[in-house]
Structure 1
Amino acid sequence: MDGTNESTQGNFILLGFSDRPHLERILFVVILIAYLLTLVGNTTIILVSRLDPHLHTPMYFFLTHLSFLDLSFTTSSIPQLLYNLNGHDKTISYTGCAIQLFLFLGLGGSECFLLAAMAYDRYVAVCHPLRYPILMNQKLCLHMTAGSWLLGGVDGLMQSGVTLSFPYCHPREINHFFCEAPSLVRLACTDTMIFEFFMYVCCVLMLLIPVSFILASYGLILITVLRMHSAAARKKTFATCSSHLAVVGVFYGTIIFIYMRPKSYRSVAHDKIVSAFYTIFTPVLNPLIYSLRNSEVKGALRKCMDQCAALSHD
């Protein structure tokens, strides 16, 4: 096994969907369309949230960062996947794999904490509406957002650093469409049991703690809503919170399915499908969920389109 310890030399091979070569052209077109929709949808949310003064609130401040996270998250893996699907070259350099792994873990971790921050924002808005401007001040929003980015970055740096420190066996074939930590660990030529336990603990901290915080926030919101006497107020509150709950359900559901299942229940084929869902399609769904179910966003979009139409006629 000469050369197995040269962990920082040579390229990796991303097998991706090469077991179904007859589908690669179709997948290329579908994924390209999904990626373009992600770029357009999330960029639109960012621009509308920044351009419309009525959306300069903590809720849309967090939403802007969520859209930017989705843009960065999907861009960390999809261009490489499209390149691999479009030709016979399935390789990725060691450096490219390291960058992809760090961005994927770091951005994913940041989104976990940002969604928890958004749940707290909704809790304050519903349960303490009179104190909302004081409690959710600009300084707190900046600290919560910066904390989300920082915690995600630290987690990504730690996990990617340890994952890439292992010696890898040849051939370096990653049975996935991007450099994912569990797939890389399977290539290690050494015992990884301790690291897998460490990675599981990190998943508990990065997933279950924010999820618990979100569930507690929405539990208190539900109690407050049930005490409201006005049906219109209840309907408005549910409409505002349902968008965030839908995003939370899709994001956390797929991540927990991938990283927190027992080993005996894991399947590479299932992992690829679920990973494709939260890497490719979830960033497409998020702007649709927030725009279709949010009257304020739809109103801001209509205003921007009317202004653009007026300028084009001048």
Structure 2
Amino acid sequence: MVLFVEKETRNLGCLAPGPLVPCSRNKSLQNATTIPEFHFIQLSEDPDIQTVLFGLFLSMYILALFGNLLFILTVISDCHLHTPMYCFLSNLSMVDIGFISTTVPRVIVDIQTNCPAISYVGCLTQMSLFVIFGCMDDMLLAVMTYDRFVAICHPLYYQVIMNISHCSVLLLGSFILSLVELLLHYVAVITFSNCEDYNEISNFFCGSSEVLKLACFDTVISNIVRYCIGTIFGLLPILGIIFSYFKIVSSIMRSSSSSGNHKIFSTCGSHLSIVCMFYGTALGVYFSSSLSLSPRSNAVASVMYTVVTPMLNPFIYSLRNKHVKTALRKFLSRAF
């Protein structure tokens, strides 16, 4: 399935000074019995830039953990925020913690050790977590749009429609759909056969599309599998978001209250900015990966939706919402 490499030699290659020279290129070791591995593409081979990247990724990871945890604790501590919208937001923060923790700690370790490699089992594990948390992000953004649609277009029925049972079903359904997408990705990847002498993942993490590119079978089949899964679990949430915002804008256009319209725009603005940033960069990387673009450019673009968006989410929602800012000040005053 994948190339077998001698473990001691691989470790020596990782610790060797200078540019990383994968031990798997040593033809005399190809039949050795040990664990198969993949190698990630490096964002930069310049040692000075590597140091900057280490500090940058570490800072963004700490900031993301701090911001999302603080947002969750703020929502829990204030009973006025125990509403469906903030329930979905706190769940989004928990998913974002898992999403960014799937990739960034590994990148930090790889930069520090100058060894951007991962075992086959480790690659499948990272891919599985990335698919689950990524799909949960998609679904929660769509669910939050639906919540705003009901609140704006059907305000009199909001409490009835968005009750505890309905919200629980939406959250559970998002999780189940994420598991279904993972199963489809896993079946597609686990059955692939690799025929390359050097297994390089064209990104800084294990994604199903990158792993499928190493398969020996016809790339047409690989692309069909990727685009079918992407269409079902990526395009459908986007269509739901577009439809909901179309209805929201139509409702705003029919309204004559300027103060009410301002409140609606302030409520939806934060969510819409996150949706555009997440889907814009994710779709750009998704479709450009099939073109003859630089793998390093795609890896840099992937940082936007895998690292930057989970880091900015809690701050965008907090700074633009007076209820959250009030609850945050109360929480910090009690804590300190």
* Residue 197 (str. 1) matches residue 219 (str. 2): no
Q: Distance in 1 between matches of 2:193 and 2:154?
A: 54
Q: 2:305 aligns with which of 273, 278, 289?
A: 278
Which residue, 314, 331, 335 being the options, matches 1:287? 314
Q: State the match for 1:29 in structure 2.
A: 55
Distance in 2 separating the partners of 1:298 and 1:246: 19
Gaps of 5+ in 1: 310-314
1:227/1:193 CA distance change after superposition, 3 Å: same
Structure 1, 84-93 or 156-165: larger mean CA deviation: 156-165
Between the aligned partners of 1:91 and 1:98, the Cα distance in structure 2 is 13
Distance 1:9 1:170 in 2: 15
Kindly state the Cα deviation for residue 181 of structure 1 after the two structures are TM-superposed.
2.1
Matches within 5 A, 1:8-47: 9-47=35-73
Identity across the alignment (%): 38
Offset from partner CA, 1:225-265 (integer Å, 9 cap, x none): 22222211111111001111011111111111111347335
- What is residue 82 of structure 1 aligned with on the other side? 108
Describe the shift of the 1:261–1:174 C-alpha distance in structure 2 as closer, same or farther (beyond 3 A).
closer
1:214 maps onto 2:241 in alignment:
yes
Say if 1:69 and 1:111, in contact at 8 Å, map to a contact too.
Answer: yes
Give CA-to-partner distance per residue, 1:176-223, whole Å, 9 cap, x none. 211122222222233232122121111112222111111111111111
- TM-score, normalization by structure 2: 0.86
Cα distance change on mapping 1:271 and 1:3 into 2, 3 Å: closer
Q: Which amino acid aligns with 2:147?
A: D
Q: Are 1:107 and 1:153, in contact at CA under 8 Å, matched by a contact in 2?
A: no
The 1:108–1:2 alpha-carbon spacing in structure 2 relative to 1, beyond 3 Å, is closer
By how many angstroms is 1:18 displaced?
Answer: 4.7
- Contact preservation (8 Å) 2:289, 2:298: no
After TM superposition, the structure 1 stretch with the greater mean CA deviation from structure 2, 261-270 or 145-154, is 261-270
Matching residue of 1:49: 75
- Residues 1:254 and 2:281 are matched in the alignment: yes
Q: Which residue of 2 aligns with 1:312?
A: none
Equivalent residues in 2 for 1:136-215, closer than 5 Å? 136-168=162-194, 169-215=196-242
Matched, 1:305 2:335: no
2 CA distance for matches of 1:57 and 1:292?
19
Helix, strand or coil at the partner of 1:76:
helix
Shift of 1:108: 0.8
- Deviations, residues 71-104 of structure 1 (Å, cap 9, x unaligned): 0001011111000000122221211111100111
Contact 1:58/1:141, CA 8 A, preserved across alignment = yes
Asked if the contact 2:213–2:222 (Cα under 8 Å) also holds between the matched residues in 1, the reply is no
183-192 vs 151-160, greater mean Cα deviation:
183-192
Q: Confirm or deny: 8 A CA contact 2:188 2:225 kept in the other structure.
A: no
Counterpart Cα distance in 1 of 2:222 and 2:180: 17
Contact 1:110 1:153 in 2 (8 A): no
CA displacement at 1:126 relative to structure 2: 0.7
- Please tell me whether the aligned partners of residues 12 and 92 of structure 1 are also in contact (alpha carbons under 8 angstroms): yes
Amino acid at match of 2:169: H
Give 4+ residue runs of structure 1 displaced > 6 Å after superposition.
none
Cα RMSD, aligned residues only = 2.1
Q: Tell me the amino acid that sits aligned with residue 314 of structure 2.
A: P
Q: Secondary structure at the match of 2:285?
A: helix
Residue segments in structure 2 that go unaligned for 5+ positions in a row: 5-29
Q: Is the 8 A contact 2:209 2:226 kept in 1?
A: no
Question: Aligned to 1:179, what secondary structure does the other structure show?
Answer: coil
Q: In the aligned structure 1, how far is the partner of 2:41 from the partner of 2:243?
A: 41
Q: Is the 8 A contact 2:131 2:181 kept in 1?
A: yes
Counterpart AA for 2:324: V
Aligned equivalents of 1:16, 1:180: Cα separation in 2 = 15
**Per the alignment, in what secondary structure is the counterpart of residue 12 of structure 1?**
strand
CA shift, 1:68, in A, is 0.7
In structure 1, C-alpha distance between the alignment counterparts of 2:322 and 2:334, rounded to whole Å = 18
Q: Give 1:93-108 correspondences, 5 Å limit.
A: 93-108=119-134
Note closer, same or farther for the CA distance 1:123–1:92 as it changes in structure 2 (3 Å cut).
same
SS at the partner of 2:39? Answer: strand
Q: Judge conservation of contact 1:49–1:60 (CA < 8 Å) in 2.
A: yes
Give the Cα separation in 1 of the matches to 2:169 and 2:80.
22
Distance 2:276 2:308 in 1: 14
Report the AA paired with residue 143 of structure 1.
V
Cα distance in 1 for partners of 2:36, 2:291 equals 32
Shift of 1:9: 4.2
How many Å separate the matches in 2 of 1:111 and 1:13? Answer: 27
Q: How far 1:294 moved relative to its partner?
A: 1.0
- Secondary structure of the residue aligned to 2:291 is helix
CA distance in 2, matches of 1:187, 1:22: 31
